[in-house]
Amino acid sequence: MKFAMIGLGKMGLNLVKNAADNKHEVVAFDLNADFVKAATDYSDLVTPATDIDDMLAKLPSPKVVWVMVPAGVPTNSTIDTLIEKMDKGDIIIDGGNSNYKDNLEQNLRTTAAGIKFFDAGTSGGMEGARSHGNFMIGGDDAQAWKTIEPLFASISEEDGYLYTGKLGSGHYLKMVHNGIEYGQMQAIAEGFEVLEASQFDYDYEAVAKLWNHGSVIRGWLMELMEDAFSKDPHLDNLAGRMHASGEGQWTIEEGLDLQVPTPVIALSLMMRYRSMQDDTFTGKVVAALRNEFGGHAVDKN
Amino acid sequence: MKFAMIGLGKMGLNLVKNAADNKHEVVAFDLNADFVKAATDYSDLVTPATDIDDMLAKLPSPKVVWVMVPAGVPTNSTIDTLIEKMDKGDIIIDGGNSNYKDNLEQNLRTTAAGIKFFDAGTSGGMEGARSHGNFMIGGDDAQAWKTIEPLFASISEEDGYLYTGKLGSGHYLKMVHNGIEYGQMQAIAEGFEVLEASQFDYDYEAVAKLWNHGSVIRGWLMELMEDAFSKDPHLDNLAGRMHASGEGQWTIEEGLDLQVPTPVIALSLMMRYRSMQDDTFTGKVVAALRNEFGGHAVDKN
Amino acid sequence: MKFAMIGLGKMGLNLVKNAADNKHEVVAFDLNADFVKAATDYSDLVTPATDIDDMLAKLPSPKVVWVMVPAGVPTNSTIDTLIEKMDKGDIIIDGGNSNYKDNLEQNLRTTAAGIKFFDAGTSGGMEGARSHGNFMIGGDDAQAWKTIEPLFASISEEDGYLYTGKLGSGHYLKMVHNGIEYGQMQAIAEGFEVLEASQFDYDYEAVAKLWNHGSVIRGWLMELMEDAFSKDPHLDNLAGRMHASGEGQWTIEEGLDLQVPTPVIALSLMMRYRSMQDDTFTGKVVAALRNEFGGHAVDKN
Amino acid sequence: MKFAMIGLGKMGLNLVKNAADNKHEVVAFDLNADFVKAATDYSDLVTPATDIDDMLAKLPSPKVVWVMVPAGVPTNSTIDTLIEKMDKGDIIIDGGNSNYKDNLEQNLRTTAAGIKFFDAGTSGGMEGARSHGNFMIGGDDAQAWKTIEPLFASISEEDGYLYTGKLGSGHYLKMVHNGIEYGQMQAIAEGFEVLEASQFDYDYEAVAKLWNHGSVIRGWLMELMEDAFSKDPHLDNLAGRMHASGEGQWTIEEGLDLQVPTPVIALSLMMRYRSMQDDTFTGKVVAALRNEFGGHAVDKN
């Protein structure tokens, strides 16, 4: 099928290549012309667009547009523009890491306009996007889903896509997926930190490899650790700063709103935030208290 | 090779069958004669023993004994007995979920007696033990390791065993493995609980299956969830009581001793302990306080 | 001074009595006429109002209205009504446990209308409201603060009120106060739960009393525990269900937005939410996993 | 009464002065002769001792010796020595922050020797020790307790001492007291960190003072914060390194052994350990994983 991709960054470009490999025609648009060129250079099946109007003009009806720009304001304003410019029966796919609450609000407007709206969470990283993605897609119109299902079927890992039901359920599932991911990563990391502090002397690459061959905790994240340790056996080149994007936080906030405890996901995120701090006011307060009541020595700045 | 297995429970019996499948001769002993019969019935390569003396008498020198009885007192007293009865150059393998600190103490005595001692952590569950185990083995004598390596090589998953160095390092690594496992399980569980409380209606078997085909969080635990949900879509038949054995707690205590924070592993275990309580004194105290200062209504017993 | 109180529940009625004790005149209004009667019966200084118009008509200019209705929709809609009906130079005090973000939005409208707006967080419980309250009050107009300061000075504990600066800072400070309160309560409660599970047999009332006489952890919450244990030595009459209102959750969410870790406040709230659950999906998932990989017995529903 | 004090550090010296102020005679001993001189210079009621034999020789029977040296090896070896040198009917008071498990073991030997043994936890800081201490004292011999009760009654805050029952219960209660203290300190600290990161500009000394006059969270720790902020309004002179002694960790380990969740106390300690780390292996592992699957940029060392 023929569709448009807006946003040709790390994920978008890989998806375009993946689609072209699978014989889909793609109209490619990005505010950065170099990115557009990189996409069109890849395959004759990829056509450039100079702006959104141009992009839409190059699509047959019903037009299918996949939005793959950064989550938040960029995605939301892109969708606003598309709602204005697209017609009844057309299809918008939000493929970013959007907050499902934004999608629910947008869905009121797409529904009013007769536009079919899908929220597609994407997992599997850049490598997955390139050749075997993992997609969880929500949307109220199960009929319109049939139109785009062949696209997802062709670019995903086998059994690697799922129509999850109502609009919002795709990004919601991706949000929870990322919450689980945060917890799993922190669990793995705490384990290796205990090993590193221990009296024993382990070969971490060998350990990760071992754990990937028959252990209970085998999985892709552990495979990635094997790879990482093969390149830097003690990760000496890295600073332990754990950046975070929004989904982990949303999962915790969702848990709070539902009054469901998520202690492990919460602590995973909080330890990330802690890793971004060089010193903490919390620490100063506790140090001050210990000094006040016990005369305990404090470390001076 | 020919060796003895003491302890023919869920794990021990499967290991005996696995070894016999791989043409090893096994002298099988358990205090429960039915278990011994189950082992010897399986293969002509398995010989029964009536007690430890009988078992040792049936082994060639150097004798190799694998201890696979419950961790703690049963394992420790078995090893004490073996140290008394075995000779210089013989080999003891502690295959249970022993605390590495116990092993370090035992190692002083085995070393004094000239007995070669190995601590072998085992992962992969019953199924792994049966045909493709995962083993992490420590022991001070790298030469003696060569004697038993072919046994481990034959019964493990390909690349599924590792000689981890100094005595104690095997069970230590298994301890940390289980700490990671606790964290990963709790992360997965919190995610599904958020889904269950959400406004959306997911097919959990389909979700677990999807996540196992290309997502970042794919792994064996998620495969097991797919299996579990296929049998009981909402786990209605289960009570949410999360039993625990010792390794998770040891990992946390080790972290505390090393002054390494393990918040995710700690909370995973604490939520297990919480799940075993019907009501809590903590809850009563907080309820009492809220009533005292704010006149907030309390739930009565 | 003369002012109006809207909302005569547990807190509002006590504040009216406190104000009347201190020779202030109060116009008292509540949707529940019985509550109005309870207020007017208390003192000749308290005048009833039948509705908001009547209430405003009975006030001199600049009119001062204290809103003490439940936080959220009731408070917000009351403030909306007051903004419509009040005049330039009049004063609104939001005394509930409002979210400061609501106040910031309301402040745009009160400022546009020339109405002076204050957000007053109130601590000290019902008893404090009655005779020695604790107030943290924000508002952009430091001059208008001078008008209402004598009221707060007269009804608070000595040194028990503070003008905290910009509008929003009062409820923000109260929010954080409650976050700290959650953490302190949970810390106290965990301590008593360890005592309760211990091998020793403590008299908890005596322990709380001891800790209030010279220990590092002395404070009002511990005094309240002494009182609670004096009435029910093992809190046998209480169920350990820990209800929660919004401020604890807001503190955590604020911390997340600021990327400031608040693990103790977060866990305090999550253990409250856990206490409201009879069984958990988290527990079922972990139990299912343990059964799948290890053949561990599960508790059946 | 006349008794001996071994250990004249921050706490011991203050206790000696306190006892002398209350007309007790004290035989003072410390390995550091300067400390002994500081004690004897304070009052004619204080007599120096040159070693433990000298100290014991200067006491009437039954001899009462209070041990106030650092917890752990120093205290334990001192008690070992005293058990050897003291007689049936004599009294040993362990006043340090000892682990109650050590006391239980020592109690077997003191009991065999007919020596009366008490474990006295001490709270209230240096200032409390000086004039109004807080003591929780366990010991199996309720009769012998009567002998030393007047001493504790005279040097403690009014109602500031408690005989807690069986030997071990004193230090156990102090252990839990410190666990609560850790949680309360962390809760206070997290609250101030949120304030510090907020959009508002608070005067923290004024906030602490306010909260100490009528709020729910008033208490001695908040009074100490008022004092600390009065000296350093933003704690700029302090590094946020939170040292820890053993009791917090013991409380968590005790909770784990009893299968009682103590998430808030545990996180309080773990955040202290985290504050002592400049960088973490945990952080490196998570950063490596994010880079592996998502191509996310990492911070380099």
Chains in contact with D, where contact requires at least 3 CB pairs less than 8 Å apart: A, B, C
pLDDT at A299 over 90: no
All residues of chain B having their beta carbon less than 8 Å from the beta carbon of residue D249 are: 256
pLDDT recorded at residue B244: 93
Separation of alpha carbons C88 and C79, rounded Å = 15
Of D256, D260, D282, the CB nearest to B252: D256
What integer is the mean pLDDT of B163-169?
98
C43-91 confidence digits (pLDDT tens): 999 999 999 999 999 999 999 999 999 999 999 999 999 999 999 999 9
Is B247 marked active-site? Answer: no
What integer is the mean pLDDT of B95-116?
96
pLDDT at B219 over 80: yes
pLDDT at B89 over 90: yes
The β-bridge relationship of strands B25-29 and A91-94 is unpaired
pLDDT recorded at residue D227: 97
pLDDT at C295 over 90: no
Cβ atoms of residues C69 and C97 within 8 Å: no
User: C223 falls in which pLDDT band (50, 70, 90)?
Assistant: very high
pLDDT recorded at residue B85: 97
pLDDT recorded at residue C298: 80
User: D295 falls in which pLDDT band (50, 70, 90)?
Assistant: confident
Q: Is the dihedral of CA C57, C58, C62, C67 positive or negative?
A: negative
pLDDT recorded at residue C299: 84
Question: D67 - beta bridge partners?
Answer: D6, D94
Contact C273 A293 (CB under 8 A): no
User: B68 falls in which pLDDT band (50, 70, 90)?
Assistant: very high
**Residue A90 one-letter amino acid:** D
pLDDT recorded at residue D3: 98
A25-65 confidence digits (pLDDT tens): 999 999 999 999 999 999 999 999 999 999 999 999 999 99
Q: Which are the contacts of D135, defined by CB distance < 8 A and separation ≥ 6?
A: D120, D121, D122, D123, D152, D156, D160, D161, D162, D170
What integer is the mean pLDDT of A100-128?
96
User: B297 falls in which pLDDT band (50, 70, 90)?
Assistant: confident
3-state secondary structure C35-84: HHHHHHHHCCCEEECCCHHHHHHCCCCCCEEEECCCCCHHHHHHHHHHHH
Cβ atoms of residues D160 and C213 within 8 Å: yes
Cβ atoms of residues D194 and C262 within 8 Å: yes
What integer is the mean pLDDT of A133-140?
97
D39-58 confidence digits (pLDDT tens): 999 999 999 999 999 999 99
From B124, B126, B133, B141, select the one nearest B159 (Cα to Cα): B133
Contact B220 A222 (CB under 8 A): no
Q: Provide the 3-class DSSP secondary structure of residue B134.
A: strand
pLDDT recorded at residue B294: 80
CATH, domain range B2-166: 3.40.50.720
Please pick, among A17, A116, A174, A254, the residue that the annotation labels catalytic.
Answer: A174
Mutation choice for D interface testing from B259, B281, B282, B285 by most D CBs within 10 A = B259
Measured in angstroms, the CA of D78 and the nearest CA of chain C are apart by 26
| D266 and B CB contact within 8 Å | yes
Domain boundaries, chain C: 2-166, 174-281
Please pick, among D2, D58, D101, D181, the residue that the annotation labels catalytic.
Answer: D181
Separation of alpha carbons B172 and C110, rounded Å = 64
Neighbours of A10 (CB within 10 A): 16
pLDDT recorded at residue D298: 79
% of chain A residues with pLDDT over 70:
100
Q: Which are the contacts of A232, defined by CB distance < 8 A and separation ≥ 6?
A: A238, D288
A139-184 confidence digits (pLDDT tens): 999 999 999 999 999 999 999 999 999 999 999 999 999 999 999 9
Alpha-helical regions (H) of chain B: 10-21, 33-42, 52-57, 73-85, 100-113, 125-131, 142-155, 169-197, 204-211, 220-231, 246-258, 263-275, 281-294
Task: Round the average pLDDT of chain D to a whole number and report it.
Answer: 96
Is B223 marked active-site? Answer: no
A72-94 confidence digits (pLDDT tens): 999 999 999 999 999 999 999 99
pLDDT at B40 over 80: yes
Burial annotation A141-177 (CB, 10 A radius, 16+ → b, else e): beebbebbeebbeebbbeebbbbbbbbbbbbbbbbbb
What integer is the mean pLDDT of B114-134?
94
Range A174-281 has CATH code 1.10.10.10: no
pLDDT at B56 over 90: yes
All residues of chain D having their beta carbon less than 8 Å from the beta carbon of residue B293 are: 216
Separation of alpha carbons B177 and A192, rounded Å = 9
Interface of D with C in 109-148 (CB under 8 A): 123-125, 128, 132-134, 136, 138
User: A245 falls in which pLDDT band (50, 70, 90)?
Assistant: confident
All residues of chain C having their beta carbon less than 8 Å from the beta carbon of residue D176 are: 191, 194-195
C9-37 confidence digits (pLDDT tens): 989 999 999 999 999 999 999 999 999 99
All residues of chain B having their beta carbon less than 8 Å from the beta carbon of residue C228 are: 285, 288-289, 291-292
Of A238, A242, A283, the CB nearest to D242: A283
pLDDT recorded at residue B298: 80
pLDDT recorded at residue B246: 87
C207-222 confidence digits (pLDDT tens): 999 999 999 999 999 9
pLDDT at B300 over 90: no
Check residue D164 and report its DSSP letter: E
Separation of alpha carbons D301 and D292, rounded Å = 17
User: B6 falls in which pLDDT band (50, 70, 90)?
Assistant: very high
pLDDT recorded at residue C186: 98
| C268 and D CB contact within 8 Å | yes
pLDDT recorded at residue C294: 80
Q: Which residue of D has its CA nearest to C204?
A: D164
Q: Cα C166 from chain centroid?
A: 20
Measured in angstroms, the CA of D36 and the nearest CA of chain C are apart by 27
User: A301 falls in which pLDDT band (50, 70, 90)?
Assistant: confident
Q: Which residue of B has its CA nearest to C196?
A: B281
What integer is the mean pLDDT of D282-291?
95
pLDDT at C270 over 90: yes
User: C131 falls in which pLDDT band (50, 70, 90)?
Assistant: very high
pLDDT recorded at residue A45: 98
pLDDT at A296 over 80: no
What integer is the mean pLDDT of B100-116?
97
pLDDT at A298 over 90: no
pLDDT at C115 over 80: yes
pLDDT recorded at residue C54: 98
pLDDT at B296 over 80: no
Q: Cα B45 from chain centroid?
A: 26
User: B67 falls in which pLDDT band (50, 70, 90)?
Assistant: very high
Which residue do the tokens 């969880």 mark?
A: A136
User: B128 falls in which pLDDT band (50, 70, 90)?
Assistant: very high
Please pick, among C101, C157, C166, C181, the residue that the annotation labels catalytic.
Answer: C181
Please give the backbone phi and psi of residue D125, each rounded to the nearest 5 degrees, phi first. Answer: 70, -170
